[in-house]
Amino acid sequence: MLLLREIRPALSLIILFTMLTGVLLPAGFTAAMQLAMPYQANGSLITRQGQIIGSALIGQNFKSRIYFEPRPSALMGTDAKGNAVATPYDARESGASNLAPTSAALLVSVKQRIAAYLKAYGPGPVPADAVTASGSGLDPDISAANARRQAPAIAAARHLPAANVLALVSHMTHGSLFGIIGTPHVNVLQLNLALDALPAS
């Protein structure tokens, strides 16, 4: 019976806190952020000629010899018949491969990716990020080492001097802060947009 008397305070507090932290706070905060920082609050979207071409924060599935290639993405979806199909960089979802370090399937994929990487960009070291799937499946970045490895082949496909593309990569590289926070990396979408804007010679 003692507990019955506690129903009113407990229920009332829940209602009040739902109004406060579930309605007022999100509504007021969202309105304020939409006013103060609309670019960030709406997903850091990049537009060209009035059309949204992507988010600066979300990777895209570039598959062309004239563009830098993003990391493998492990995202899976279903096709019209309900079969599982790879849907790399489909940002309706997000996630990783979740394959174990002892996974035979993972080892096969890594070996295939290494072979493809060496074929596309010539002999040399294979950066780990180039042949492993990211955590989000939407990783917007590649390591600076990976970008430098790709640069000569992309320069050749675009009939540009390799030095120009390498210079662009250096220019677009985000270093790590104080040498310890983060890793040197390049945003692939922004790099490829800058590449398109590069003068022909």
Q: Based on CB atoms, which residue is closest to another protein, 141 or 160?
A: 141
Pick 10 or 163: Cβ nearer another protein: 10
Rounded to the nearest angstrom, the gap between the alpha carbon of residue 119 and the centroid of all alpha carbons in its chain is 24
Give the bridge partners for 141, in sequence order: 187
Nearer to another protein, 62 or 152 (CB): 62
Which span (78-86, 153-161, 162-170, 188-196) binds another protein, by CB under 8 A?
188-196
Q: Select the residue interacting with another protein from 1, 80, 95, 190 (CB under 8 A).
A: 95
C-alpha separations of 194 from 68, 149, 172 in Å? 11, 18, 9
> Nearest CA to 126 among 142, 114, 141?
114
Stretch of 78-86, 122-130, 150-158, 160-168 lying at the interface with another protein (CB under 8 A)? 122-130
| Residues forming beta bridges with residue 52, ordered by sequence position | 47
> Among 27-35, 78-86, 156-164, 165-173, which window interacts with another protein (CB under 8 A)?
27-35
Interaction of residue 166 with another protein, rule CB under 8 A = no
Binding of another protein at residue 122 (CB under 8 A)? no
Structure tokens at 174: 């985000």
DSSP SS3 for 134? coil
| 143 near another protein, judged by CB under 8 A | yes
Distances (CA, A) of 25 to 12, 13, 17: 18, 16, 10
Establish if 51 lies at the interface with another protein (CB under 8 A).
yes
Burial 82-113 (b: 16+ CB within 10 A, else e): eeeeebbbebeeeeebebeeeeeebeebbeeb
Q: Which is nearer to another protein, 163 or 171 (CB)?
A: 171
Q: Does 60 bind another protein (CB under 8 A)?
A: yes
162 binds another protein (CB under 8 A): no
CB of 108 to another protein, least distance (A): 9
